[in-house]
């Protein structure tokens, strides 16, 4: 039998990994294998059904999700970090750099699409993912990490505020859910303090 092609990953060396259980791992993905793509789609679907927080209100078709994740791998400004439990992809986060023309913002990156499938929550996977993104951004000389989140994402708000992200603004018409405007909270973290 032919072994399925593995994802090409960059191992992460961070103190946060030491706190993870031995069956858990966070990696930076350079190339996504088919089995990992399917696990990632599955984790995304389960997280959207559980309340999402990263854009979708209902899960798109599997083909649509596959296209989304394949697209992420093609965008030079984006880096994908995945979290595994027993080898299965259970969550992810992205580091997004400013486009080259945006010289005035060249020291600020964005953390986005941070989620962990409901079955894997509460074991430190999101923390390890966030630490990996913060450290990668600092290694690339970014001094600030930005993010935004719907005001209704209570777990994410507690999580990011616990990680030292400072809320600097509230956007009253940030997202529309079921025909109602939902506010969004905007945060930044000074990476010089990481």
Ligand X SMILES: CC(C)(COP(=O)(O)OP(=O)(O)OC[C@H]1O[C@@H](n2cnc3c(N)ncnc32)[C@H](O)[C@@H]1OP(=O)(O)O)[C@@H](O)C(=O)NCCC(=O)NCCS
Binding residues for ligand X, rule: CB under 6 A, are: 47, 53-54, 112-116, 121-127, 149, 153, 155-156, 158-159, 162
Backbone angles phi, psi at 11, to 5 degrees: -60, 145
Q: How far is the CB of 69 from ligand X (least distance, A)?
A: 16
Helices 125-139 and 154-162, interaxial angle, to 10°? 50
Residue closer to ligand X (CB basis): 21 or 141: 21
Q: How far is the CB of 147 from ligand X (least distance, A)?
A: 7
Q: What is the DSSP string of 72-98?
A: HHH-TTEEEEEEEETTEEEEEEEEEPP
Residue closer to ligand X (CB basis): 122 or 169: 122
Residue closer to ligand X (CB basis): 64 or 162: 162
Q: How far is the CB of 85 from ligand X (least distance, A)?
A: 10
For residues 130 and 163, give the distance between their C-alpha atoms in angstroms, rounded to a whole number.
Answer: 9
Residue closer to ligand X (CB basis): 37 or 53: 53
Burial label for 84, CB within 10 Å (0-12, 13-18, 19+), is buried
Residue closer to ligand X (CB basis): 38 or 174: 174
Give 82's strand partners: 27, 92
Q: How far is the CB of 83 from ligand X (least distance, A)?
A: 8
Q: How far is the CB of 125 from ligand X (least distance, A)?
A: 4
> Closest residue (Cβ) to ligand X?
53
Best CA proximity match to 38, nearest among 69, 59, 8:
69
73 half-sphere exposure, CB direction, 13 A CA radius? 19
């Amino acid at each position: 039998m032919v072994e399925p092609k593995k994802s090409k990953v960059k191992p992460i060396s961070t103190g946060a990994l030491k706190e993870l259980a031995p069956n858990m791992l966070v990696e930076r993905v350079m190339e996504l294998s088919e089995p990992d793509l399917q696990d990632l789609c599955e984790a995304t679907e389960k997280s959207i059904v559980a309340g999402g927080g990263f854009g979708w209100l209902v899960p798109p078709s599997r083909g649509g999700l596959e296209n989304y994740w394949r697209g992420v791998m093609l965008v030079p400004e984006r880096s994908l970090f995945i979290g595994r439990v027993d080898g299965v992809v259970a969550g992810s986060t992205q580091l997004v750099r400013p486009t080259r023309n945006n010289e005035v913002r060249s020291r600020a990156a964005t953390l986005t699409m941070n989620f962990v499938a409901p079955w894997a929550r509460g074991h430190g996977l999101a923390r390890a993912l966030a630490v990996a993104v913060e450290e990668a951004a600092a290694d690339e000389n970014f001094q600030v990490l930005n993010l935004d989140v719907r005001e209704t994402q209570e777990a994410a708000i507690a999580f990011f505020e616990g990680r030292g992200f400072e809320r600097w603004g509230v956007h009253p018409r940030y997202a529309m859910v079921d025909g109602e405007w939902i506010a969004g909270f905007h945060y930044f973290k000074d990476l010089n303090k990481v």
